[in-house]
């Protein structure tokens, strides 16, 4: 991959002196598209275009459904190819419950092809929702817009402007047990990072901000205008801003002046039924002067959006128990869980995302120790004194889970901690961990392939693995068991020499004591 995108961190975050492990490093990169095709089976085609197709596939190792996007790069002009590479790099680094996840990808120069394995979001997009549910309920619009703006707030804090906000790029995900949908932002192909001012004429015309249409300099505030147009379309079923540049800008200014869009027919009727708060919210975002528009963070504070935001839920006690066990787990176990979180995920990702967003009170995409303390104080069940969930040291959870030294837990780190209780026995953990580390699915791994997925403190464990050749699952289990035995012996001898030293926990033995 020729383009590297380094996302800035929110102000006040300090990096430690060690390398750490970042989510972007854990996402598997391959140089052959056939390698991925061999390990997924096609379920059905989802779409096709001039440059490739999108297919629903099933992971043959883990069983999950994914989206496989295959793009032919033959004849593709360099700016378009560079934009696609930049999108992949952004998706590797962006880490938020309301942004689509990438699991692995390949750029194959021999067949002129780029292949992406992405999160499957089965509910369709918001354009489909408008067609099926017109008019969309006001509370549903509020929920979707809150999650969209939360995703944009996260992106804008990191210097990323999406530049193509519209209903087609808002995917809908319904809970397995029913209920209101969640929003996932997709398609970062036109996104820009690190530029406070832009002049590129990009986007979808009827959603583009006036300053973009004028070919003037613009900022991430253009995303806010596009969000307002998107909200308007969700409310009314369509938008009145179509046609040539002059006509579009004229209608935009007319809307700003009259405070009413020039709708006709059923769209006018749908808009007329909306509450004053909903209409004010749209006008709040769609201010022709970009300097008067709110930031995404400020837009989240609008009174109508606050009334219709996703209902705040108590922090799940089963997640708290997982955090308690995770904080005390050996470093090797935690590193393996991070790889599982990034490369495999969880069947309960949507529920974990809700818990993460509920705890991340300032919306910066990181759960701080203070935020975790507050969340744990609002659990969904009574806290018994004998329950591990009642005695969580939040500083220990942050110390254990903050792999990238951001002074907080990002979403993937939080997922890793939530996965701890999913592996109640050593055999299950050892197998899933090995398969997650085996990025090319050939049944073998090498130390060189996996060393970047572990912390510096795990070097003794890595040194215990075969150094000069690949090894398979069974040998991996043997190596882990032997490392456990050696660790236990060293811990015992250290404890005999100094009673103040706590015995080090071994890897598989740790799971034995948890069952």
Q: How far apart are CA 210 and CA 273, in angstroms?
A: 27
- Could you give the dihedral angle defined by the CA atoms of residues 289, 290, 295 and 300, in that order, rounded to the nearest 10 degrees? 50
Contact 414, 432 (CB under 8 A): no
Contact 313, 1 (CB under 8 A): no
Q: How far apart are CA 246 and CA 241, in angstroms?
A: 11
| Residue 430 CA neighbour count, 13 Å, CB half | 21
Q: Is 264 annotated for ligand binding? A: no
Q: How far apart are CA 349 and CA 119, in angstroms?
A: 11
Pick the closest to residue 348 from 421, 428, 401 (CA basis). 421
Contact 22, 342 (CB under 8 A): no
Alpha-carbon torsion (100, 104, 107, 111), positive or negative: negative
Q: How far apart are CA 152 and CA 140, in angstroms?
A: 18
Task: Return the number of other C-beta atoms located less than 10 Å from residue 196's C-beta.
Answer: 9
Residues 6+ apart with CB under 8 A from 300: 146, 149, 150, 153, 306, 309, 363
Q: How far apart are CA 249 and CA 241, in angstroms?
A: 8
Cis (ω within 30 of 0) for the bond into 135? yes
DSSP string, 193-205: ES-SSB----S-G
DSSP 126: H
For tokens 């951001």, the residue is 406
Give the containing element (helix H, strand E) for 41: strand 40-48
- Could you give the dihedral angle defined by the CA atoms of residues 153, 11, 202 and 241, in that order, rounded to the nearest 10 degrees? 30
- Could you give the dihedral angle defined by the CA atoms of residues 214, 216, 221 and 223, in that order, rounded to the nearest 10 degrees? 50
DSSP 107: E
Contact 365, 96 (CB under 8 A): yes
Q: How far apart are CA 300 and CA 298, in angstroms?
A: 5
Contact 503, 492 (CB under 8 A): yes
Q: Which residues are annotated as a binding site?
A: 69
Residues annotated in the binding site for ATP, as ranges? 69
């Amino acid at each position: 991959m020729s383009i590297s995108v380094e996302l800035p961190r929110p102000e006040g975050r300090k990096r430690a002196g060690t390398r750490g492990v970042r989510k972007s490093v854990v996402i598997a990169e391959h140089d052959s598209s056939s390698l991925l095709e061999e390990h997924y089976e096609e379920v059905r085609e989802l779409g096709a275009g001039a440059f490739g197709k999108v297919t629903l596939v099933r992971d043959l190792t883990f069983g999950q459904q994914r989206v496989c996007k295959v793009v032919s790069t033959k004849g593709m002009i360099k700016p378009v190819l560079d934009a696609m590479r930049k999108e992949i790099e952004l998706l590797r680094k962006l880490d938020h419950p309301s942004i689509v996840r990438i699991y692995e990808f390949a750029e194959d120069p021999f067949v002129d092809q780029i292949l992406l394995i992405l999160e499957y979001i089965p509910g369709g997009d918001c354009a489909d929702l408008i067609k099926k549910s017109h008019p969309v309920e006001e509370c549903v619009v509020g929920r979707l817009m809150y999650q969209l703006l939360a995703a944009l707030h996260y992106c804008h804090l990191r210097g990323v402007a999406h530049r193509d906000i519209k209903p087609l790029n808002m995917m809908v995900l319904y809970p397995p047990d029913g209920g209101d949908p969640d929003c996932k932002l997709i398609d970062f192909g036109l996104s820009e990072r690190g530029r406070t001012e832009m002049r590129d004429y990009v986007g979808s015309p009827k959603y583009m901000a006036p300053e973009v249409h004028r070919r003037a300099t613009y900022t991430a505030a253009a995303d806010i205008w596009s969000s307002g147009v998107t909200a308007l379309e969700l409310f009314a079923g369509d938008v009145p801003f179509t046609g040539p540049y002059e006509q579009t800008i004229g209608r935009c200014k007319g809307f700003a002046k009259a405070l009413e869009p020039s709708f006709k027919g059923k769209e006018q009727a749908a808009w007329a039924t909306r509450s004053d708060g909903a209409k004010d919210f749209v006008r709040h975002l769609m201010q022709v002067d970009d300097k008067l528009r709110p930031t995404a963070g400020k837009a989240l504070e609008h009174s109508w959006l606050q009334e219709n935001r996703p209902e705040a839920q108590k922090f799940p006690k089963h997640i708290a128990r997982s955090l308690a066990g995770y904080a005390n787990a050996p470093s090797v176990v935690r590193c393996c869980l991070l790889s599982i979180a990034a490369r495999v995920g969880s069947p309960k990702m949507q529920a974990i995302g809700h818990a993460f967003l509920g705890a991340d009170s300032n919306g910066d995409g990181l759960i701080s120790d203070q935020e975790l303390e507050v969340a744990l104080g609002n659990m969904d069940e009574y806290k018994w004194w004998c329950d591990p969930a009642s005695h969580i040291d939040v500083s220990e959870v942050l110390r254990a889970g903050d792999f990238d030294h951001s002074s907080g837990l990002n979403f993937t780190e939080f997922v890793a901690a939530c996965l701890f209780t999913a592996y109640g026995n050593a055999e299950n953990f050892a197998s899933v961990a090995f398969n997650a580390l085996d990025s090319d699915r050939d049944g073998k791994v090498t130390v060189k392939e996996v060393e970047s997925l572990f912390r510096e403190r795990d070097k003794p464990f890595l040194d215990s693995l075969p150094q000069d050749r690949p090894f398979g699952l069974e040998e991996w289990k043997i190596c882990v068991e032997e490392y456990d035995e050696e660790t236990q012996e060293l811990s015992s001898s250290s404890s005999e020499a100094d009673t103040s030293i706590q015995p080090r926990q071994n890897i598989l033995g740790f799971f034995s004591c948890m069952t």
